[in-house]
A and B are shown apart, each in its own frame.
Chain A
Amino acid sequence: MSATATNRDATKPSVSRPPITRIRPIGGWFDLNLREFWNYRELIYFFVWRDLKVRYKQTFIGAAWAVLQPLATMVLFTIFFGGFLGLPTGGLPDPVFYYATLLPWTYFAGAVTTATNTLVENQGVVTKVYFPRLIMPVSAILPGLVDLAIASTVLFGLMLVYGVTPALTSFLAPVFIMLAVGTALGVGLWLSVVNAAYRDVRIVIPFIIQAWFFISPVIYPADSIPSGFRWAYSLNPMTGVIEGFRWSVTGVGDAPSSTILISALMVVVLLFTGALYFRRREVLIADVL
């Protein structure tokens, strides 16, 4: 049983008449109703603003956590993966390589997790007030960008220390981050509605993230993958994101153009199917939460 509401203009072209909303049970697969979403865009701002306000309240070092997490992980990777295991780092100093791959990865892992849990965690709001539910996963993936921006400043510091000149292509970095945002949203759209009905997702999500970590070029460059598997490897959109981000900032290595194309295509597919599935299921969210 599914339904959706559509806005249609008042039948009479009268200025004073408010718009009529028809509430009814229909289910169009391709009814994204993006206009309504747009009308509610300010709510995204409110949600993001609340998350940022609340996030570091009652913490001792506050926003420094945004830097400390990837930094500490980078140190561990440098010692174990780079040092003891001697994994290749694509011609970059180990710390720069790991930190540059960890930035988009840390954002992605965090964003997917929060987006997946957002409907469940905000059920008090979701079961009491109407707004396009799409607002929730979209708002959930945005606050992480602030952490990413803070942590990025340290990347440039690290590069200076290790003598890697920031490349002119750095201006492309936000493009790859946008791909990461798209991927996180696409995955979040799928998982958040499933999670609303089946809390199994919540239990499985750390495992999904961990598996995803290994199939993404975080602790090794993508060219470590045998060339016969490369295209399949590129189906993971995070491959294009991480490779592209690292390349654009450091300028070391070749532009991973075909990888990025495949990744970008996958992001579009993920986003589109995710949004359709989400719209299709969202009418039931308040009933199953």
Chain B
Amino acid sequence: MTDKSIEARGLSKRYRIGGRERYVALRDVVGDRLAAPFRRLKGKTAPPKRDDRTFWALDDVSFDVDQGEIVGIIGRNGAGKTTLLKVLTRITRPTKGYADIHGRVGSLLEVGTGFHPELTGRENVYFNGGILGMTKREIDGKFDEIVEFAETGRFIDTVVKRYSSGMQVRLAFAVAAHLEPEILLVDEVLTVGDLKFQRKCIDKMSTVAKEGRTILFVSHQMNQIRRLCDRVIWVDAGSILRDGPAARVVSEYESASNALTGEGSNGRAANGSTHFTSWWLREEGGERSNEITTWGSVTITFVLNVHSPLVSGHQGVSLFDSSGTLVWGTNEDGLELQPGKHELSFTLPYLPLKPGHYRWKVSIWENTKMLDVWDAPIELLVGTDPVTHWIDQWAGILNIPFEFRTEPSKDHREQ
């Protein structure tokens, strides 16, 4: 008999819509409370709680996880994955149901939690470790290992505000990876660009699991899920849709949501009008994906569903980085397209962007009439190794491989 690590029974979490908004006006609450007795006096009961003001971020979720399992949790944005992790880590409490947790829980809901820019790497290791539940003695014992794993070596006594974000993440992950909780919850931390470090993290997580510890891993990157997890739970609209072997559930998820190609109407009234349905990219000799891993040629394809014939179509393409800066834009004029699905492809010799997440915004026009503007829900991921300046501020937005050499000048005009 295997030992259970997590037993969740009917976990439910209700949020008030806008319940996470920053400011609740005190006067509304006070007003409500003051008015309540008068409503009762008038013989009226309090107005029934309208269902549209609340929603269930988790709705009757039950599952067991055995000790030592690596379970991936997948689902669209807002499906309830993060809420589930937050309930399991006790950051927030369930509205109904319960979960039994066997042992200490460590979490990586966002790396670098509590990192203070004015503290040095060393000081942050201690503070962060403390927050994550390590004792000072534990950190003392593992300090060298952590620093070595993070590859920050000589910068360990530099204040963290001078670190590149990559270095910060490495250090933060290193601290968390050396936690020794029985259960480790990881949310999307490995989306940080540096592929080499990502692999190292994945290896580390595998090792951790082999030691008998349990890992729940939330990610949008199906490759990572495939590589790391034995079992996958697919969460949709707060409930478990599928729970089974990783390969099967991930494939089902991909074909259902067309995750890698960004299928989906994105909430627009898409019926009966010309609109974009999906996008993908293909590296030379590669599969359709949403991730750039090399500096080679890449073809970006947008699928356009044309409703009525285009005579003088015009397509606009914009690519934004995660901070919303436009990093690339282009357009094509004079498109003549018959009704039906069309693939509009752009082949570029390379797209040397800095590792990270990017978003497409594409539009289609007939003359000056806008037919569709599409914010692609699936992001473009760039996962090449960073070869830029190690301080973010000086790294720029491109990631271009180069050769560097020095030699005596042979140009006599310079002398």
Interface residues of A (CB under 8 A from B): 1-5, 10, 17-25, 40, 42-43, 45-46, 49-50, 53-54, 57-58, 122, 124-131, 197-200, 283, 286-288
Q: Are B116 and A198 in contact (CB under 8 A)?
A: no
Closest to B117 in A: A54
Q: Using Cβ atoms and an 8 Å threshold, which residues of chain A touch B15?
A: 287
Q: How large is the interface on B (under 10, 10 to 19, 20 to 34, 35 or more residues)?
A: 35 or more
Cα distance, A287 to B87, chains bound together (Å) = 11
Known A21-B100, A125-B114, A129-B109; judge A46-B126 contact (CB<8 A): yes
Q: Using Cβ atoms and an 8 Å threshold, which residues of chain B touch A5?
A: 90, 93
Known A42-B135, A128-B110; judge A198-B26 contact (CB<8 A): yes
Q: Are A46 and B95 in contact (CB under 8 A)?
A: no
Q: Are A46 and B131 in contact (CB under 8 A)?
A: yes
Q: Using Cβ atoms and an 8 Å threshold, which residues of chain A touch B107?
A: 128-130
Q: Are A25 and B96 in contact (CB under 8 A)?
A: yes
Interface residues of B (CB under 8 A from A): 3, 14-15, 19-20, 22-26, 29, 86-105, 107, 109-110, 113-114, 116, 118-119, 123, 126-127, 130-133, 135-136, 182
Cα distance, A197 to B92, chains bound together (Å) = 15
Contact of B119 among A1, A54, A129 (CB under 8 A): A54
Closest to B3 in A: A17
Q: Are B94 and A24 in contact (CB under 8 A)?
A: yes
Q: Are B19 and A287 in contact (CB under 8 A)?
A: yes
Q: Are B93 and A23 in contact (CB under 8 A)?
A: yes
Q: Are A58 and B118 in contact (CB under 8 A)?
A: yes
Could you jot down 9 A-B contacts, CB within 8 Å? Answer: A3-B93, A18-B103, A18-B104, A25-B98, A42-B135, A122-B114, A129-B107, A130-B91, A283-B92
Give, as a whole number of angstroms, the nearest-CB distance from A120 to chain B: 10
Q: Using Cβ atoms and an 8 Å threshold, which residues of chain B touch A25?
A: 93-98
Cα distance, A1 to B90, chains bound together (Å) = 15
Q: Are A24 and B98 in contact (CB under 8 A)?
A: yes
A2, A17, A20 interface centre (most CB from chain B within 10 Å): A20
Q: Are B123 and A53 in contact (CB under 8 A)?
A: yes
Cα distance, A19 to B183, chains bound together (Å) = 12
Closest to A44 in B: B130
Cα distance, A5 to B89, chains bound together (Å) = 11
Query: Assuming A24-B93, A198-B29, what are 10 further A-B pairs, CB within 8 angstroms?
Result: A1-B95, A18-B104, A23-B100, A24-B98, A25-B98, A124-B114, A127-B91, A128-B109, A128-B114, A288-B19
Q: Are A23 and B94 in contact (CB under 8 A)?
A: yes
Q: Using Cβ atoms and an 8 Å threshold, which residues of chain B touch A122?
A: 114
Give, as a whole number of angstroms, the nearest-CB distance from A8 to chain B: 10
Q: Are A198 and B132 in contact (CB under 8 A)?
A: no
Q: Using Cβ atoms and an 8 Å threshold, which residues of chain B touch A286?
A: 86, 91-92
Give, as a whole number of angstroms, the nearest-CB distance from B85 to chain A: 10
Known A3-B93, A18-B102, A23-B94; judge A54-B118 contact (CB<8 A): yes
B24, B91, B107 interface centre (most CB from chain A within 10 Å): B91
Cα distance, A19 to B91, chains bound together (Å) = 19
Contact of B113 among A2, A21, A128, A283 (CB under 8 A): A128
Q: Are A130 and B90 in contact (CB under 8 A)?
A: yes
Give, as a whole number of angstroms, the nearest-CB distance from A132 to chain B: 10
Give, as a whole number of angstroms, the nearest-CB distance from B366 to chain A: 46
Q: Using Cβ atoms and an 8 Å threshold, which residues of chain B touch A23?
A: 87-88, 90, 93-94, 98-101
Q: Are A287 and B20 in contact (CB under 8 A)?
A: yes
Cα distance, A10 to B135, chains bound together (Å) = 23
Q: Using Cβ atoms and an 8 Å threshold, which residues of chain A touch B113?
A: 124-125, 128-129
Cα distance, A122 to B116, chains bound together (Å) = 11
Known A54-B118, A287-B92; judge A199-B97 contact (CB<8 A): no
Contact of B93 among A2, A10, A19, A20 (CB under 8 A): A2
Q: Using Cβ atoms and an 8 Å threshold, which residues of chain A touch B22?
A: 199
